[in-house]
Amino acid sequence: MSKLKTRFISYTDRSFKKKFNDLRFDDKKFNSAISTTVTKIIREIVKNGDDGLNHFVSKFDKINVKKIRELFISKDVLKRAYDGLKKEQKQALNIAADRIKKFHKHQVPKNFNYKDSLNVNLGLTHSPLDSAGFYVPGGKAIYPSSVLMNAIPALVAGVERRTLVSPVSDLDKSSIVLAAAHVAKVTDFIRIGGAHAVAALAYGTKTILPVDKIVGPGNAYVAEAKKQVFGKVGIDSIAGPSEVLILCDESANPDHVAIDLLSQAEHDELAQSILITTSKEIANKVILSVEKFLMEISRSKIASSSWYDFGAIILVENLDQAIELINIKAPEHLQLILKNAQKVVEEIKNAGAIFVGPYTPEAMGDYIAGPNHVLPTNGTAKFSSGLGVIDFYKRTTIVNFNKNSLNKLGKYVITLAEAEGLDAHARSVSIRIGK
Cα–Cα separations (whole angstroms), residue 136 to 84, 139, 146, 192, 284: 21, 10, 6, 10, 37
What is the CB neighbour count within 10 angstroms for residue 369? 18
DSSP state of 68: G
Q: Which of 356, 274, 360 is nearest to 322 (CA)?
A: 274
Handedness of CA 275, 365, 242, 353 (dihedral sign): negative
**Exposed e or buried b for every residue in 174-208, given b needs 16+ CB within 10 A?**
bbbbbbbbbbbebbbbbbbbbbbbbbbbbbebebb
Choose the catalytic residue: 243, 269, 332, 362: 332
Give the integer Cα–Cα distance in Å for 353 and 362: 9
Beta bridge partners of residue 9, listed in sequence order = 314
Is 291 one of the catalytic residues?
Answer: no
For helices 319-329 and 16-24, give the axis angle rounded to 10 degrees.
40
Instruction: Mark whether 256 is an active-site residue.
Output: no
CA atoms within 13 A on the CB side of 429: 20
Q: Element (H or E) spanning 22, and its range?
A: helix 16-24
Quick check: helix, strand or coil at residue 214? Answer: strand
- Catalytic-labelled residue, pool 333, 346, 347, 362: 333
- Which residues face 395 on adjacent strands? 126
- Determine contact, residues 365/373, Cβ cutoff 8 Å: yes
Active site residues: 332-333
